[in-house]
Amino acid sequence: MAPLMPMLSGNRRCRDVRRQRRWSNDIDEMRGGRSRFHVDEFFGDRRAIVAAGLAFALIAGTQAAQAQVVTPFVPSPMPPWNSLEVFEPVPFAQLWARSGEALAPEDTPVKTRQQPGYESVGVRAGPWMFHPSLTGGVRYDNNVFASGSDKRGDLSATIKPSLEVQSLWERHGIDLQGSVASTSYRRFSQLDQTDANLRLRGRIDLWHDAAILTSFRTALLHEGVGSLTSPTNAAEPTPYTLNSADVTYWQQSGRWAGSIGLRSDSYNFGSTRAINGSIINQDARDGHIEAIHGRLDYAMTGNLGLFSAVEANRRSLQGTPVQSLNSNGYRALAGVNLQLGHLVTGELSAGYASQRFEDPTIGTIEGPTYRALLNWSVTRLLDVHVKAEQLVTQAADTVAGGIRADAIQLGADYELRRNIILSVGATYERDKFFGQPRNDDVFSTLTELTYKMNRYSSISLQHQYFRRDSNVPLASYDKHEVGLNVTTRY
């Protein structure tokens, strides 16, 4: 990758250093409406999902499923929202009280900074703020069926309306996000899909340093052909519905901050069609997941903090008469929060994970685990991100019972001009399957150029390359995708 750091004059470099010392603590997150499929998400009654989708048909939008476990970098939710996900980055405890302070544009991440004249306006109605948007795009995929031998390309069009509603109360808070995304293909109509997503987050302030955090989600989504957990020979997206609920108690006391919560996930998979025309039944993956999670943070200095996080789960899945997919396990991590000179922020952690499957052919997937998220503000024009993580999940019974995925991602966002942002990224992932002798190596790149025309509209051009190399020949493939999106918002 060619160097992206611009040459700065001495005076400008001094100004940059001063600005960087006020740099925000926002770093990368795995977004909830993300296309990444997290098996810990949960699903439910299709009729409720469709009803929610119709209600938001004029105001919503989601992204298409991706094959990677690690997703593109996006800013994390402001604290204490991220206490709902204890493995996501959490700022220092003593800084949480200042999380709502106003920051200059140059002190925010390049990818999402809102320069004067380009910030979102929104519509205020009393104590509520509404942020509607509409995205339309076209995309060409040169291998829509993720085939290693018979590549077939097609052009697709997507419409993504969305709406976010936020409360403006002094105490307590509600954040509602609704979206619908409809994708149609020119040649292969069997790939058409419509996703709907509705998420409600609530904060009940008990006192100034304690709160109850809640999150509820219902959605109708699809797993893309060729994704990690999709059946190997699927020729259509795999539909699934999810319902989830999380309730967390968060508390801060001086240098200490902690949270403990419960999550309940339920999901229901539909059937998909194989390349030879047969039906692939995915009922084996239906079921629910319960988890208890907690996190403890201690701020040692202004530049260093310690934390530990643990989550224990019970996965009760339907399975098949000859193979159970039930399992129980945990993941525990401990590490440090870093804020070096206000230029590098993030977390480094290591620990142990174990997931014991009832099926002896899968057995127990356990061993040391890790998670690292670093964000380096090289200059006020350039952010560099590094993300590495290990996850344990389960896949379709037509592929394998259990999977351990190790992934590392490197990305950068560069501000060419105030309204032109170039983002590049690369991901390497190693997937080890349990239940059959299979190992996959995954490599992908993503390049995006975003042009903000004004505060109401923007255009983005993307190119993505994806390659999966597997010792199971049918699972190996590569593809290129090129897309153009136009977004209007208010």
User: Domains (ranges, CATH) in the chain?
Assistant: 10-489 (2.40.170)
pLDDT number for residue 214: 95
Predicted local confidence at residue 396, as pLDDT: 55
Nearest Cα to Cα of residue 227 among 445, 477, 484 = 477
pTM, entire model: 0.77
Residue 122 falls in which region: left (phi positive, over 0), alpha (psi -120 to 50) or beta? left
Token couple for 125? 């109605």
Q: CA nearest 311: which of 269, 267, 371?
A: 371
Q: Please, what are the averages of pLDDT over each run of 10 residues along the chain (490 residues)?
A: 36 37 33 34 37 36 39 56 79 54 72 84 93 97 91 96 94 94 95 95 90 95 84 87 95 90 93 87 87 93 88 87 83 89 84 89 87 90 92 63 87 94 95 86 95 94 95 90 96
> CA-to-CA distance for 381 and 12, rounded, in angstroms?
12
User: What was the pLDDT predicted at 222?
Assistant: 92
Which residues have CB under 8 Å from 137's CB, separation 6+? 157, 158, 160, 483, 484, 485, 486
Query: Residue 23: its pLDDT value, please?
Result: 32
Instruction: Check residue 255 and give its pLDDT.
Output: 87
- Provide DSSP, 410-471: EEEEEEEETTEEEEEEEEEEEEEEESSS-EEEEEEEEEEEEEEEETTEEEEEEEEEEEEEES
Q: According to the model, what pLDDT value does residue 149 have?
A: 87
Q: CA 315 to CA 4: how far, in whole Å? A: 45
pLDDT for res 274: 86
For residue 336, give both structure tokens.
Answer: 């440090």
What is the C-alpha separation between 220 and 61, in angstroms, rounded? 12
